[in-house]
Amino acid sequence: MDSPKTTIGIRGVVLLCIAVVIFSELLGLPLLRRSIRPAPPPSNFAPVSGVPSLVAWNEATIILSATGNPIRGEFISRRCELCHGVEGFSSRASTPNLAGIDARYLWKQLQDFRSGKRKSEVMQRIAGPLTPRDAADVAAYFAMLPNAPDAQFSPSFPQTLPDHSAIEIAQRLLAVGDPNRGIPPCQACHGPLGYVRPAPSLASQNYDYVLSQLNDFARGARSNDIDLPMRTIAAELLPSERQAVAEFYGADLARFPVGYTSQ
Ligand code: HEC
Ligand code: HEC
């Protein structure tokens, strides 16, 4: 015996289910979409895929990167001279000086260019054919060069002195950072006081290059810093502060710890 009540009851249940689903969707409750909703982006820095670097610091990589052969490296460096200079001081201020920079840092950068974890049209092409051993050798050569500029070999370094207020801003950031914004002193990792490897020395680095790297870290365009120290710090710095520290390094004012006097 089919009673109209039962038919209406089944339809009613079906309609009720549909209504609940539509209602939950309207309210944004994820009844149906939980499994198909795309995962949220991994971090604030878009678009970063996976790990910052394929380099893992372990016994093998530390030994390889720190024991290159500088004599063989000098031959390889002929391919670099045009841009990075004969004595590791670049011909243009937008190209980094490599003289006296820690070999492990240089080696890691060459691996990051090779793997595409650090983007640079020119350097990805140049680092591509270098084997890890070639990279260690050429890094050992540049690391050995004196980082004090010699007018004959450093056509674009040092750059002009910043004004007084820029010097004050830079000195504060280098020596104490800004505890209120969680910015540690640059000197703690980049020397010459502390030296957290593989953070590079910035003491003889070009203004234009330092500024462009800080801007790139701040917007995530450079994202090969393991554990994000530089993306975090650069994003906290005001544009005027990035400019001030770049000018300070570019003018060769960071050779000695801030506060150092020779008397
Ligand atoms: C045609 C010019 C050119 C040549 C040749 C060249 N480089 Fe570079 N190199 C650059 C530029 C420009 C950059 C900066 C890239 C950027 O903006 O990130 C750079 C960056 C680098 C860096 C990163 C430095 C840092 O402080 O992070 C390393 C290491 C490096 N080059 C090594 C080499 C080596 C080794 C060779 C030779 C085998 C070489 N380069 C040849 C132009 C060149
Ligand atoms: C906690 C350690 C730490 C502190 C503090 C720090 N840095 Fe760095 N910085 C690094 C590391 C590590 C790298 C190298 C990242 C990589 O592997 O490419 C780096 C790279 C850089 C570079 C790129 C250098 C090059 O040759 O390409 C610049 C410029 C720089 N830092 C500026 C600064 C400034 C300015 C400050 C202070 C406001 C600062 N850093 C504070 C760890 C630090």
According to the model, what pLDDT value does residue 199 have?
95
> What is the mean predicted confidence (pLDDT) over 127-132?
98
pLDDT at 26: 46
Q: Is the pLDDT of residue 113 over 60?
A: yes
Residue 54 CA to residue 36 CA, distance in Å, equals 31
Helix (H) or strand (E) holding 17: helix 4-26
Average pLDDT, the chain: 86
Distance from the alpha carbon of residue 76 to the mean position of ligand 1, in angstroms: 13
pTM: 0.85
* Most informative mutation of 94, 101, 233 for ligand 2 (most atoms within 8 A of CB): 233
- Kindly indicate the confidence band of residue 40, based on its pLDDT and cuts at 50, 70 and 90: very low
- Give the pLDDT of residue 25: 46
For the CA of 118, the nearest atom of ligand 1: 18
If you write DSSP's letter for every residue of 146-198 in order, what string do you get? Answer: --S--TTT-TT-S-PPPPHHHHHHHHHHHHT-BGGGTB--HHHHHSSS---TT
By the 8 A CB rule, do 251 and 240 touch? no
Residue 258, pLDDT above cutoff 60? yes
Which of 90, 126, 134, 222, when mutated, tests ligand 1's pocket best, judged by the most ligand atoms within 8 Å of its CB? 126
Residue ID of nearest Cα to ligand 2 atom 23: 213
Q: Is there an atom of ligand 1 within 6 Å of 84 CB?
A: yes
Which pLDDT score, from 0 to 100, does residue 256 have?
87
Distance of CA 198 to the CA centre of its chain: 12
Task: Quote the CA–CA distance of 182 and 96 in Å, as a whole number.
Answer: 28
Confidence of residue 194 (pLDDT cuts 50, 70, 90): confident
Per-residue pLDDT tens over the stretch 47-84: 446 899 999 999 999 999 999 999 999 999 999 999 99
The confidence score (pLDDT) of residue 50 equals 83
Mean pLDDT across the stretch 5-9?
55
Among 71, 75, 147, smallest CA distance to 105 is for 147
CA of 228 to the centre of ligand 2 (A): 10
From 86, 66, 83, 85, select the one nearest 132 (Cα to Cα). 66
Rounded mean pLDDT of 186-210?
A: 91
Pocket test residue of 48, 61, 202, 230 for ligand 2, highest count of atoms within 8 A of CB: 230
Please, what are the domains in the chain? Answer: 59-144 (1.10.760.10), 164-250 (1.10.760.10)
Q: Which of 3-17, 62-76, 86-100, 217-231 has the lowest mean pLDDT?
A: 3-17
